Amino acid sequence: MKTPKFLLPIATAGVLALTLSACGGGGGGSTTAGGDAEQGLDGRGPITYVQGKDNSNVVRPLIEKWNAAHPDEKVTFKEQTDQADQQHDDLVQNFQAKNANYDVVSVDVVWTAEFAAKGWLQPLKDKMALDTSAMLKPTVESASYKGTLYAAPQNSDGGILYYRKDLVPTAPKTWDEMMGMCSIAKENNIGCFAGQYAKYEGLTVNTSEAINSAGGSVLDAEGKPSLNTPEAKAGLETLTKAYADGSIPKEAITFQEEQGRQAFQNGKLLFHRNWPYVYNLAKTEGSSKVKDVLGMTALTGTDGPGASTLGGHSAGMSVYSKNKATALDFLKFLTSEETQKFYATQGSLAPVLGALYDDKELVAKLPYLPVLKTSIENAVPRPVTPFYPAVTKAIQENAYAAIKGEKTVDAALSDMQASIESASAGQ
């Protein structure tokens, strides 16, 4: 039997770099002598840390701790919105303006190639080197571009299937098993399943998961788009059919992470695909109706567990920062064992240090860690390319139209294929 893509070792998944037929690469000129990457290396002083909305309430306490120990190198937190696409656009604008005050920025794993190729991220090598030997390999790979580390892996992310333990006797392993349990949702007058289907990065995540979990892949082993396959079709169809028959409730077409989490926490969904941060909030928020009935398992696939899309964030240092020595110390602080434990215990965020997943004390506190480790180890990266914005747009727009029934699955997949081909060829 052919090994499904998602079961291949993660090192193999690393070849998912989109093949560029044109020159590609986009420059990276500032790493040359005299460029911005050569400036400010010894600079120390106040810096700003930029990140999306701190849903998990972990950033402020960490910064307070840092500031107490570094009175002359204080960090100020610039908080962005909670929407991945807006965070991206804000960073792009500030890099283009060479804003020296965006010293350290949170970089989604899918932005590394674009930001590195543009020459906006300080390469973490030589004087600015960071030890990554204890980190999970996929987190290091997704913070690297063309073999150079461009950001410090900060939090990993893997998709989890949350479910209602009180209503679901045994967690489903396959998509069909899960769909077979939708009658339970009906009897209880709640929605059956939802992930994130608004037109933004989260839809690329969910579409890729559907395709990978059905044995397909967005890119083939050579890095070429491979969406015109029966497996990709079967994958996208899981979403379009479930949306059409109401197994995915209609309102889910507006869901980003937070809307889905709220629906699940308010008891309105039987199954919910989301990231690990939901665990902490669903367990501790006063308004949560699922505190004592929260089940967590792997995403579902065709014949067994599905394949998560690899998510996560790294902390990148801007080449325009004037205080890079401070920024490097701050990156080391964010990746330290103590901070990584704090992320896990306070925010149920996925650590980047491999050993923490087997830490007995931590596993006792956070029973989801083994499920999460499996999710991350089997996770499939999204395409690695400086032209990722065009690639994700092609996936989102076509998947959105197909889910809403405005395009057939066949048309959506061949349009996706064509747009990704031109995104990689025409630049």
Contact residues for ligand GLC (CB under 6 A)? 84, 108-110, 157, 201-202, 205, 257, 275, 311-313
Give φ, ψ of 164 to 5 degrees.
-90, 105
- The residue among 273 and 313 lying less far from ligand GLC, judged by its C-beta, is 313
> What secondary structure, in 3-state letters, does 89-149 show?
HHHHHHHHCCCCCCCEEEEEHHHHHHHHHCCCECCCCHHHCCCCCCECHHHHHCCEECCEE
Radius of gyration of the chain (CA): 21
Q: Least distance to ligand GLC from the beta carbon of 396, Å?
A: 11
We find the least distance from the C-beta atom of residue 271 to ligand GLC, in angstroms, to be 19
Q: What is the DSSP string of 264-290?
A: HHTT-EEEEEE-THHHHHHHH-TT-S-
Residue 7 DSSP symbol: G
Q: How far is the CB of 316 from ligand GLC (least distance, A)?
A: 14
- Which is closer to ligand GLC, CB of 234 or CB of 263? 263
Nearer to ligand GLC, 261 or 313 (CB): 313
Cα 162 from Cα 257, distance rounded (Å): 13
By C-alpha distance, which of 234, 237, 377 is closest to 298?
377
| Closest to ligand GLC by CB, 109 or 211 | 109
Give 164 or 313: the residue with its C-beta nearer to ligand GLC.
Answer: 313
Residue type, 44: R
Give the amino acid at 337: E
d(CA 290, CA 271): 12
- Who contacts 270 (Cβ-Cβ below 8 Å, separation ≥6)? 163, 164, 167, 168, 181, 182, 184, 185, 188, 190, 191, 192, 193
Quick one: tokens of 260?
Answer: 């889905």
**CB of residue 309 to ligand GLC, shortest distance in Å:** 8
Shortest distance, position 46 Cβ to ligand GLC, whole Å: 27
264 or 320: CB nearest ligand GLC: 264
Measured between alpha carbons, how far is 407 from 410 in angstroms, rounded to an integer? 8
Find out whether 292 and 362 touch, Cβ atoms under 8 Å: no
**Alpha-carbon separation of residue 223 from 218, 323, 336 (angstroms):** 9, 38, 34
CB of 228 to ligand GLC, least distance (A): 25
Greatest pairwise CA separation for the chain in angstroms: 68
Nearer to ligand GLC, 53 or 283 (CB): 53
Tell me how far, at minimum, the Cβ of 13 lies from ligand GLC, in Å. Answer: 15
Element (H, E) at 333: helix 324-335
Q: How far is the CB of 383 from ligand GLC (least distance, A)?
A: 13
Helix (H, G, I), strand (E, B) or coil at 80: coil
Cβ at position 265, least distance to ligand GLC in Å: 18
Backbone φ, ψ for residue 161 (5° rounding)? -95, 110
CB of 394 to ligand GLC, least distance (A): 16
231 vs 257 by CB, closer to ligand GLC: 257
Cβ 202 to ligand GLC, closest distance in Å?
Answer: 4
Q: Which is nearer to ligand GLC, 110 or 290 (CB)?
A: 110
Q: Please, which residue, 82 or 421, has the CB nearer to ligand GLC? A: 82
User: CA neighbours within 13 Å on the CB side: how many for 221?
Assistant: 8
CB-closest chain residue to ligand GLC: 311
Nearer to ligand GLC, 185 or 296 (CB): 296
